[in-house]
Amino acid sequence: MQDQDQHIASAYDRDLEAIQAMILKMGGLVEAAILDGARSLESRDVELAEKVRRGDRAIDEIEERVNEEAARVIAIRAPVSRDLRVILSVLKLAASLERVGDYAKNIAKRTTVLVEMRPITGADATLRRMAREVEIMLKDALDAFTQRDVDLAMDVIHRDHDIDQMYNALFREFLTYMMEDPRSITACMHLHFVAKNIERMGDLVTNMAEQVVYIATGSMPDDTRPKADKTAYATEAE
């Protein structure tokens, strides 16, 4: 499997596995934060929102430990070529996870603001469905990482298009609500941010799936994924 001395290869593999275990733990916390964040928003549950906000610290701490551990492994194992690239890719996975966690925290923060405003019927449930889709994408991206499963990673990449479509539909819905009833403007502005946060989470999970393809194959996937941004902006411009 490795061109190196078997003993060294094994020590490196064990180190890498330890880092991967941290990524999976981090991923589990981020998945929970996405679901809890969306749930706190839908049910205007300030306590749950507070839990998500507090929980973000644990996610950040794991990222720091991944960074430290990766630096330690690079320093003592001096991996080259493919091994080094895998470690650097894993650092990117951790950085993306940390940002997804931040977005979940932002959603929870909006809950504490929105609890004072009258609800926008329908939008909350759509946002929760959208968050649920992203959480499944993240779960699959992590599974693809563990299994080095390129097909599953590519599937995640393609599903990002659905998230973008849900976002575009919501954007138009919010415009309609605001024009019909100016009293809903402030709440809609906040909910629109939540929608945008979830759409960005989808982009980050897509980046993670691309890194997984890179880790498994040594090259990034063909640039054939639907250009999310273009769609979004074109639709918003209508």
- The residue ranges that bind a copy of itself (CB under 8 A) are 67, 70-71, 74-75, 78-81, 84-85, 88, 91-92, 95, 106, 109-110, 112-113, 116, 171, 174-175, 178-179, 182, 185-186, 189-190, 192-193, 196, 229, 233, 236-237
Q: Is the CB of 147 or the CB of 179 nearer to a copy of itself?
A: 179
> Following DSSP, what letter does each residue of 144-191 receive, concatenated?
HHHHT-HHHHHHHHHHHHHHHHHHHHHHHHHHHHHHH-GGGHHHHHHH
For a copy of itself, give the closer residue by CB, 23 or 152.
23
| Cβ nearer to a copy of itself, comparing 182 with 218 | 182
Q: At what angle do helices 123-147 and 185-217 cross, to 10 degrees?
A: 10
Which of residues 43 and 186 has its CB atom nearest to a copy of itself in the complex?
A: 186
Tokens of 208: 């993670």
- Among 82, 66, 62, smallest CA distance to 17 is for 66
CB of 192 to a copy of itself, least distance (A): 7
* Of 36 and 56, CB closest to a copy of itself: 56
Distance (Å, whole) CA 127 – CA 72? 41
The least distance separating a copy of itself from the CB of residue 189, rounded to whole angstroms, comes to 7
- Write down the least CB distance from residue 78 to a copy of itself, Å: 4
How many angstroms separate the CA atoms of 182 and 125, rounded?
A: 22
Contact 137, 202 (CB under 8 A): yes
Q: How far is the CB of 137 from a copy of itself (least distance, A)?
A: 20
Task: Please give the Cα distance from 83 to 203 (Å, whole number).
Answer: 26
Tokens of 101: 């966690």
Return phi, psi of residue 227, to 5°.
-70, 95
Q: Which is nearer to a copy of itself, 152 or 228 (CB)?
A: 228
Q: Minimum distance between the CB of residue 215 and a copy of itself, rounded to whole angstroms?
A: 14
